[in-house]
């Protein structure tokens, strides 16, 4: 099934969207992130994507209260990430009601940690691979690993990771369309891919859905549903059939 994941990014306790991952270039869409989550649920979302941006930068869970409110107030499954660096973090978020926990920086820097978490929690743990200039970005996109996205995906697949979120940082928040060439390099490598970054139109979503047979499982939509460039109700029709 091709799935649409409305995004709720949290910074300073607020619901925001960043431009190209720049923590200094934010647009605030509400003081209570749970209201955005409830809105997307009311409009029919079957799964939500929540990220603690401050947590990603600081390497620890910062906006835990805001994430907890979302998990308490919505009934659809939620995947959460940002600042998850320890097994205890994963266990806590799952116990709070998260359906999936997203690993990022530590999973790339220490693949054995990703393997350990997969061994313990299975497909309830997924990994985010964020790319900029042909390299994987780390620590809220402020640092860079010495590996390419393809190398990262192949390594994670060998550890049993079943699902990866792939984001092209240069396109994230720009409404400039997704990175088709970068995405296509990751397909057919033994993992399902959730695409993110720059998705701005129904045509983008249709192109992604056409790649479902090659491993594209869904799309994270952020700025485009907040600005109205994508009507979520129409986007959700792509989940059918």
**Cα separation of 85 and 101, whole Å?**
11
Measured in whole angstroms, how far is the alpha carbon of residue 31 from the centre of its chain? 21
| H or E element, residue 127 | strand 125-132
Annotation says 22 is catalytic: no
Strand partners, 78: 48
Annotation says 130 is catalytic: yes
Which residues have a Cβ under 8 Å from the Cβ of 16 and sit 6 or more positions away? 9, 10, 26, 27, 28, 29, 53
Integer CA distances (angstroms), 105 to 24, 85, 111, 204, in order = 20, 8, 10, 28
Residues 59, 107 contacting (CB under 8 angstroms): no
Estimate the crossing angle of helix 111-121 against helix 87-95, to 10 degrees: 30
Catalytic residue among 89, 130, 168, 172: 130
Q: Find the DSSP H helices in 124-201.
A: 149-158, 180-184
Catalytic residue among 9, 54, 168, 204: 9
Region for 211 from its dihedrals, namely left if φ exceeds 0, alpha if ψ lies in -120 to 50, beta otherwise: alpha
Residues 186, 166 contacting (CB under 8 angstroms): yes
Strand partners, 39: none
What amino acid positions are annotated as catalytic residues? 9, 130
């Amino acid at each position: 099934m091709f799935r649409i994941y409305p995004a709720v990014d949290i910074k300073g306790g607020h619901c925001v969207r960043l431009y190209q991952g720049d923590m200094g270039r934010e647009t605030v869409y509400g003081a209570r992130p749970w209201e955005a989550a409830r809105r997307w649920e009311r409009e029919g979302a079957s799964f939500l994507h929540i990220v603690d941006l401050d947590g990603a930068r600081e390497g620890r869970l910062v906006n835990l209260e805001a994430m907890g409110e979302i998990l308490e107030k919505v009934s659809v499954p939620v995947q959460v990430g940002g600042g998850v660096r320890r097994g205890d973090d994963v266990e806590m978020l799952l116990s709070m009601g998260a359906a999936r926990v997203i690993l990022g920086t530590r999973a790339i820097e220490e693949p054995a940690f990703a393997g350990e978490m997969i061994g313990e929690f299975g497909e309830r743990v997924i990994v985010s691979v964020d790319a900029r200039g042909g390299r994987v970005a780390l620590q809220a996109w402020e640092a860079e690993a010495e590996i390419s996205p393809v190398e990262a995906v192949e390594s994670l697949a060998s550890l049993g990771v079943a699902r990866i979120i792939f984001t092209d940082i240069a396109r994230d928040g720009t409404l400039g369309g997704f990175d088709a060439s970068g995405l296509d390099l990751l397909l057919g490598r033994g993992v399902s891919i959730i695409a993110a970054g720059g998705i701005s139109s129904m045509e983008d979503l249709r192109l992604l859905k056409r790649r479902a047979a090659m491993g594209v499982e869904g799309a994270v939509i952020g700025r485009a549903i907040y600005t109205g460039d994508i009507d979520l109700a129409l986007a959700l029709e792509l989940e059918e059939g």
